[in-house]
Amino acid sequence: MKILKTILFFVLLFIFNMNLCATTELWNNGWKFYRGDIPDAKLYDYNDSEWEEVGLPHSFNIPYFKSDDLYTGYGWYRKHLFVNQADKDTKSLYLDFDGIFCVAEIYVNGKMAAIHNGGYTGFRVDLSKSLNVGDNVISVRVNNKWSPIVFPRANAYVIDGGIYRNVRLVKKNPVHIDWCGLTITTSGLKESNGDAADVNINCDINMPKHLRYKPNLSIIVDLYDAEGKSVATMKSNQLNRNNDKHNTILVRDASINASATVNNPNLWSPSHPYIYKAVCRLYDGDKLIDEESDTFGFRWFEWTADKGFFINGEHLYFKGVNVHQDQAGWGNAITDEAARRDVRMIKEAGFDMIRGAHYPFSPSFVEECDKQGILFWSELSMYGVEGQLKEETWSANPYPLLMEQRNTFERSALRQLIEMINIHKNHPSVFAWSMCSDLSHSIPQLSLPLTSFLRTLVNQAHKADPTRVAAIGGSQAHIGRYTISHIGDVSAYSEDGIILADSQKIAKPRVISEYGYTIANRPGEYEQVWGKLTEDAALRNQQLGCGQVLWSAFDYGTTHEDEKSKTGIVDYFRIPKRSWYWYRNEYTNTPPPVWASEGEPASLSIEASRCNAVKADGTDDVMLLIKVLDSKGRELSNTPNVHLQIVSGPGQFPTGRCVDFSADSDIRILDGKAAITIRSYFAGKTVVRATSPNLKPATVKIKFVDGPKYTSAQKNIDLKNANVMKKSNTTVQ
């Protein structure tokens, strides 16, 4: 009996200690959605049985194929959360959102838990105070309506409302490492010529105001190289309380700092993207109460006005490309894997830099930049479109016209700047924070307040992260051609702006942030896209400033100027145009393929980006590429109508269980090729079949994993969802 009691004691102690550690659960599956506004939808007992059943990422406008007829208004999301007594008594529960466009109100059992505005940065919501033991309902009211006091105010791309990035349910000890609470910095690399670096870890701690005891906190941090070998361990118990009562932007309760020296580190660069990992454990006495980890890299940057850009002491004239996040069918609501494919396609073409135009990107996109060796220019969504005196649409000035709107707007912008920096601060690929892009359309009356606010943004960026430069995009803007180019650490110019800056000898490091574009449907021409730089042939091969960034990598959705949205070297469906192959050949010496030509079609083929172990959780998907072939299997440029159908098993296209491609529709087949992505929120084996009249069909099999089993009942729900989606996309609610 004594032995059994001893065993029971240690089992209970183990369970207790495990209960103190954090858990994170992806929360993308099992949401209900309604497009429209029903105020009572926040209530626990509201009947949502007729709503569409969706998984995240999701948007109001699925399916979206670059139409300028975007729904703007409200949408509701609901999901149940069961809470047991142990979690209620011992845990703090949160939802981490990676992005909601644009204003989100989060309710727990009908009670307001949080409001967040701004569509491109993540945030954390504390659910704990409103949760009950047993069943709870989380309701999220989202709107993508224009507002004069919400940042951003202007937009020339997709304003795709919805919970369009991942959501996670986080359970923590009440005392824990805060959201994005690890800050990893390195120093001394330049001085030692890369032979040694001091690593500093700042660990932000969440400390509830009314703790019943005084915790004895300490951290232990282990650093690991890419092979998983421990390279350093650091410890600290020096708790620093935050007494800054005036700081209202992402206040941290307390922090602990620790440091160590790493000798002969592997340096991160575009040609050698070596990544380290830091694992931080938080202890209360000898009890482990929380653990967080993040990756980082050893590298140092130098920006100079006369010699250009340097990484790790070596000169690099970076070859960049601008990117928009949206993709055919899904709009902005793309998976992590879709974002990663974009980065890999850019790397394959030989580019070594991406500008996130014109807003903060998802964590998964920037993580892939780390892995592939792509410098990432992270940009705030300060953007101007038409600069008009009457504003009630997304075609607006970047800054409020009315004095009474400015304080609220500035707080919104500053908060999103800090969120962007906190989310991406440890990524070795991030080498600049850009405060803005094109402000040239702002009206003259805004010149002084807008330039003043840009200085505020730059100062706040320096305070939040003194290790990176704060850049000013669109430095050729008419409101400040001789002023805003001097505000930041780096001046970025569009096309002819860099020529102007070069002639005026602007004493700042300079970047051609946008050069050249050719409006073309696929396949387009096999040629470089120099744009206005061709006005002076000598400039095409001249290294102006620190680097040049092509406009743009991919075709994109837009709220106006539809033709200009076809400026990518890759089309909206993620099939390369011939100009992509020109850059790949220029930068990597890879010859282009033999171009398809007209012939006698005989069959179809389907190529899948992956077929096995595709996660059914909203983070993963498969790109399907359909080709038209002749009787010998050669690719043709013929464009017959093609019907793509999920024959059996789980999965969905943005259009439902099938999709039709036609040369004369928005869902296009061009140059003998068509493409779309498929995702699933259920596990099982899926068969997809492509057919076209008088052609031999093609099939592909995909295995989805890590999700609930697909059943006949779920198939019926898929059919119901298709009807609901069809109705919601043809009816304004």
Residue type, 135: D
Q: At what angle do helices 336-348 and 578-588 cross, to 10 degrees?
A: 60
Considering the four listed CATH numbers 1.10.3720.10, 2.60.120.260, 2.40.50.180, 3.40.50.150, the one that applies to the domain covering 21-244+279-293 is: 2.60.120.260
**pLDDT greater than 90 at residue 652:** yes
Which residues of the chain are in CATH 2.60.40.10 domains?
603-728
**pLDDT greater than 70 at residue 390:** no
What is the average per-residue pLDDT within 239-249?
69
Q: Hunting for tokens 């980082």 — which residue is that?
A: 296
pLDDT of residue 248: 56
pLDDT tens-place string over residues 34-52: 999 999 999 999 999 999 9
pTM of the shown model = 0.94
**pLDDT greater than 70 at residue 256:** yes
Q: Which fold has domain 603-728?
A: Immunoglobulin-like (2.60.40)
Burial of 295 (0-12, 13-18, 19+ CB in 10 A): middle
**pLDDT greater than 60 at residue 457:** yes
Which residues of the chain are in CATH 2.60.120.260 domains?
21-244+279-293
pLDDT tens-place string over residues 333-366: 999 999 999 999 999 999 999 999 999 999 999 9
Angstrom CA distances, 156 to 339, 394, 558, stand at 21, 8, 6
Closest of 292, 210, 287, 207 to residue 254, by C-alpha: 207
Second-level CATH architecture of 315-388+402-588:
Alpha-Beta Barrel (3.20)
**pLDDT greater than 70 at residue 535:** no
Residue type, 91: K
Q: What percent of the chain has pLDDT over 90?
A: 75
Q: How confident is the model at residue 638 (pLDDT cuts 50, 70, 90)?
A: very high
Residue type, 637: S
Q: How confident is the model at residue 159 (pLDDT cuts 50, 70, 90)?
A: confident
Q: How confident is the model at residue 591 (pLDDT cuts 50, 70, 90)?
A: very high
Q: How confident is the model at residue 482 (pLDDT cuts 50, 70, 90)?
A: very low
Which residues of the chain are in CATH 3.20.20.80 domains?
315-388+402-588
pLDDT of residue 15: 42
Identify the weakest region by mean pLDDT among 153-162, 317-326, 341-350, 586-595: 153-162
Among 495-499, 660-664, 708-712, the range of highest mean pLDDT = 660-664
pLDDT tens-place string over residues 91-103: 999 999 999 999 9
Report which of residues 718 and 435 the model is more confident about: 435
Q: How confident is the model at residue 395 (pLDDT cuts 50, 70, 90)?
A: confident
What is the average per-residue pLDDT within 643-664?
97
Pairing state between β 52-54 and 31-35: antiparallel
3-class DSSP state for residue 718?
helix
pLDDT of residue 19: 47
pLDDT of residue 447: 84
In this structure, what token pair is assigned to residue 237?
């118990």
Torsion of CA 433, 438, 443, 447, to 10 degrees: 30
